[in-house]
Amino acid sequence: MCKRMFSAGLAFGLSIMASTAYAQDGVYKGAQINFVVSADAGNSYDMFGRMIGRYLPKHIPGQPTVIVQNMPGAGGLRAMNWLYTVAPKDGNTIGMVNNTLAFDPLYGNKQAQFDAAKFNWLGSPSKENALLIVWHTVPVKTLEDLKSRELVVSATGAGSTPAFFARVLSSLFDFKVKIIPGYKSQTESFLAMERGENDGNASPFWSSLNSEFPHWVAEKKIRPLVYYGALRVPEIDAPLAVDLLKDPEKRAVMEIAQGGLDMGRPMLAPPGVDPAKLAVLRKALAATFADEAYIAECKQARLNCASPSTGEELAAIVKKIYDSPKGAVEKITAIYMQGQGAK
């Protein structure tokens, strides 16, 4: 036991020494960090990625160049698989990924070619909340009103995040939902809602609505029926989902579903990155999130930067969700697989 303790202590000490050496030597001097964002240009993930990309070099010894690269496709899964299986493991490639993707293997998605626990989670600029919203002209004011009226919601695809949460919420709160897939983007589906082509959407982020459609919020053009996610938000005039769910299994299902929101806008590095170099990236990212100029720009852009997470906290969320009760996992897997064509 003493030998094992000595070995562990020695390894820890060497890791700290190596991290210090990286900082002193400026291992990133003259380097280029490729920053992959698993979404299209122009949306809130892209806005966050590009803003972080401007400030991150300031906090990395050697001040490398950071190049942001958009890699959309398959709801972000294309980038997630690439980061796990193809991306260089030299610490010069990082990513910001859609926050539900870490749990696709848990739901049985065979296209998810990664082990979420093996990623090197770096941190997140925020925790998020999402909402079930309807346009203000829709004659629905509460979840109870949906007991007697089918809700028509928009989605980019049958297996997309808005479609998934529409099925989760309809299952947990016992209302009928019709999902209209095929919109090219969330923005397009929102504009269709404005035109009356659908009633609403099941998963917009509260922060995204405030940054991309602030007039909708200010003028109450949208009506939230329920919200869910990591934080309590008094400004949202709707109940928090977990407060309404008294059945333990239903509550557990909701907690699994919203696990991605607890991760916010997660950033990661591929498996196999040198731990000392990983420590440099995590430290630099934490410093970026505390940077006064970065925070000021966040506020100006109406982005939610008030609740960042560390890489260790993201890893803990992943572990917690994968350790969820078996019955709840089976239930949410069945809901998820409906979007993959299974019944």
pLDDT at 25: 55
129-260: CATH number: 3.40.190.10
Give the Å distances, CA to CA, from 279 to 6, 61, 91, 114, 122: 22, 12, 10, 22, 9
- Phi and psi for 199 in degrees, rounded to 5? -80, -35
Mean pLDDT of 331-338: 93
246 closest CA partner among 172, 174, 177, 317: 172
Give the Å distances, CA to CA, from 47 to 51, 53, 85, 244, 302: 6, 10, 26, 33, 11
pLDDT digits (tens, 9 = 90+) for 106-130: 999 999 999 999 999 999 999 999 9
* pLDDT(79) > 50: yes
* pLDDT(266) > 90: yes
> Is pLDDT larger for residue 343 or for residue 193?
193
pLDDT category of residue 26 using cuts at 50, 70 and 90: confident
Mean pLDDT of 58-87: 94
Mean pLDDT of 48-77: 94
Residue 337: how many CB atoms within 10 A of its CB? Answer: 15
281 closest CA partner among 104, 119, 81: 119
String of DSSP letters for 2-13 = HHHHHHHHHHHH
* pLDDT(314) > 50: yes
* pLDDT(219) > 80: yes
Domain residue ranges in the chain? 10-127+264-324, 129-260
Domains 10-127+264-324 and 129-260 share a fold: yes
pLDDT at 168: 97
What long-range pairs does 174-178 form, CB within 8 A, spacing at least 24?
174/147, 175/143, 175/146, 175/147, 175/151, 176/146, 176/150, 176/151, 177/150, 177/151, 177/152, 177/153, 177/202, 178/150, 178/151, 178/152, 178/153
pLDDT at 328: 96
pLDDT digits (tens, 9 = 90+) for 158-176: 878 899 999 999 999 999 9
* pLDDT(11) > 90: no
pLDDT category of residue 42 using cuts at 50, 70 and 90: confident
Q: Which residue has the tokens 């820890």?
A: 12
pLDDT at 118: 98
pLDDT at 67: 97
84 closest CA partner among 45, 107, 117: 117
- Rounded to the nearest 10 degrees, what angle do helices 44-55 and 292-300 cross at? 160
Q: What is the pLDDT of the chain when averaged over all its residues? A: 90
* pLDDT(27) > 50: yes
pLDDT category of residue 2 using cuts at 50, 70 and 90: very low
The CATH class of 10-127+264-324 is: alpha beta
pLDDT at 313: 97
pLDDT at 15: 45
In this structure, are residues 245 and 257 in contact, taking their beta carbons and an 8 Å threshold?
Answer: no
Mean pLDDT of 57-81: 93
pLDDT at 341: 64
